[in-house]
Amino acid sequence: MKERDAAEITVPKTDLASFTAFIDYLCTDQLDLGEEEGEQARRALVLRQLAQMYQVSRLELLCSQALQESVGPASAVPLLEAAHTMGDGRLLAQCRRYVADHAAEVRASGGVEQLRDLGVAKGLLGDALDQVAELKG
């Protein structure tokens, strides 16, 4: 509780807009992820981490649901990497399936160029090789 005496409080792994949305949720029970589609997924990721850190289960579930609903051509790869980093098996599986089923759209959106994690790249390559084997078999 040292924060009560501090002139300034540092909250790691967040930004002002996301933390404000977190406090607003606590006060109003209304989730605000912003207006822009890309911003919504990013804010849902940050808010879910805050919800886990501060043990706000309902907010964590709402953010997980928002993330699952936001998987699309441009967001699939960044969400896949985030799911891998956070150990979210459900979102990871959903993103992998989305990339496999909509590969051309993901590629056209620049999703492949956004890939930074070698482990995720290896996983996607393995998925692609499995699909080729299925088609041949």
Q: For Cα atoms 74, 110, 63, give the angle at the middle one, nearest 5 degrees.
A: 25
What is the per-residue pLDDT for 1?
A: 59
Task: Give the model confidence (pLDDT) of 78-116 as tens digits.
Answer: 999 999 888 899 999 999 999 989 989 999 998 888 888
- HSE, CB side, 13 Å, CA atoms: give it for residue 113: 6
Residues of the chain falling short of pLDDT 70: 1-3, 37
What is the per-residue pLDDT for 46?
A: 93
- Residue 27 corresponds to which tokens in the numbers above? 């006060």
What is the per-residue pLDDT for 73?
A: 92
Q: Go through 20-35 and write b for each residue having 16 or more CB atoms within 10 A of its CB, e for each that does not.
A: ebbeebeeeeebebee
Distance, in Å, from the CA atom of 25 to the CA atom of 50, rounded to the nearest integer, reads 11
What is the per-residue pLDDT for 119?
A: 83
What is the per-residue pLDDT for 134?
A: 86
What is the per-residue pLDDT for 2?
A: 67
